[in-house]
Structure 1
Amino acid sequence: MEKQTKKWVISGSVLSVIAGSIFVASNKKTREGVTDFVSTASSQTKHWFQVINENRDTVVQQLRSSGDKISAIVDSASDDVEKLVETSKSLKAHVFDLLEAVQDSTEEIKGLKSKFEERETIEAETTMDPDPEALLPPDTGQKKLEE
């Protein structure tokens, strides 16, 4: 399937070039336009080759200078990326240290809580004689009526 597509593309391109050539050859105005374009492009190309040849050292020096600037920028960016990687590793270590400290604090708080609850339990067991007024229901206002 691909070979047939390639054949069609190639044959279509060849026919287009032939048709374009026939049109250019038969039409004087188009022929003059094409020759003017080709001669202008040729003269501009020759001009730029001449300018580059005359100023080769300057052009080469400018290219080297640009290359050096680009190299310096890339080196600086590389150093910055390296610093960022080191900083992120350091931050990661700090986060793990912080998490460890928080976990230790949590364990300490849990230990203190259990000791506090244990102390309350012991105190409650040692005071078996509760306050008699604590066993009475809350004041409903009958004392005030009796007085």
Structure 2
Amino acid sequence: MEKQMKKWVISGSVLSVIAGSIFVASNKKTREGVTDFVSTASSQTKHWFQVINENRDTVVQQLRSSGDKISAIVDSASDDVEKLVETSKSLKAHVFDLLEAVQDSTEEIKGLKSKFEERETIEAETAMAPDPESLLPPDTGQKKLEE
């Protein structure tokens, strides 16, 4: 399937180039336009090659300068990323410390709550218990045998 699609694309491209060439060859105005475009592109390309050859040292120096600037920017960005990573690790450690402190506080509060509830229970039981002296029989005036 894929090979067949490639054949169709290649065949269509070849036929398009042939049809375009026939059109350009048969139409004088289009032929002159294409010729002018190709000659202009050719002369501009030759001109830029000549400029680059004449100013090779300047061009190379400017490219190196641009490369150095780009390297400095990349190094600076790399340092910034490294600082961000270190800062995020530090923040992570702080968050874990904070969580540990919160958990410790929670446990302390739970312990205090249970002690408070125990104390309230004991106080309630004490308040409900009868007075031990009221449980003794009334004193009849007899002296105890032990005396």
Give the TM-score taking structure 2 as reference length.
0.81
CA distance 1:5–1:121, shift in 2 (3 Å): closer
From the superposition, tell whether residues 34 and 141 of structure 1 become closer, same or farther in structure 2 (CA, over 3 Å).
Answer: farther
Equivalent position of 1:88 in the other structure: 88
Distance change >3 Å, CA 132–CA 22, structure 1 → 2 = same
Deviation at residue 2 of structure 1 after TM alignment: 2.2
Secondary structure of the residue that 2:124 maps to in structure 1? Answer: helix
After superposition, the C-alpha distances for 1:86-140 in whole angstroms (9 at most, x for unaligned) are 1111111111111111111111111111112212222222234689999999999
> Structure 2 vs 1, CA of residues 107 and 134 (structure 1 numbering), >3 Å: closer, same or farther?
farther
The structure-2 alpha-carbon separation of the partners of 1:10 and 1:135, relative to structure 1 and needing over 3 Å to count, comes to farther
C-alpha change, 1:101 and 1:28, in structure 2 (3 Å) is same
Following superposition, the deviation at residue 4 of structure 1 comes to 2.2
Q: Which deviates further from its counterpart, 25-34 or 88-97? A: 25-34
What residue number does 1:124 align with?
124
Taking only aligned residues, the RMSD between alpha carbons, in angstroms, comes to 10.6
User: How far has the Cα of 1:83 moved from its partner?
Assistant: 0.8
In the alignment, the residues of structure 2 paired with residue 141 and residue 24 of structure 1 have an alpha-carbon distance, to the nearest angstrom, of 146
Relative to structure 1, the CA distance from residue 32 to residue 107 in structure 2 (aligned partners, 3 Å threshold; closer, same or farther) is: same
How many angstroms apart in 1 are the aligned matches of 2:45 and 2:97?
A: 67
Q: Structure 1: where are the runs of 5+ without partners? A: none
Deviation of the 1:32 alpha carbon? 1.5
Inter-CA distance 26–92: structure 2 relative to 1 (3 Å threshold): same
Q: Distance in 2 between matches of 1:45 and 1:145?
A: 137
* Same amino acid, percent of matched pairs: 97
Change (3 A) 1:142 1:5: farther
Question: Which region of structure 1 is more displaced relative to structure 2, 125-134 or 17-26?
Answer: 125-134
Write the distance in 2 (CA, Å) between the matches of 1:15 and 1:134: 123
- 4+ long deviations beyond 3 Å: 128-147
The equivalent residue for 1:143 is: 143
C-alpha spacing 1:146/1:5, structure 2 compared with 1 (3 Å) = farther
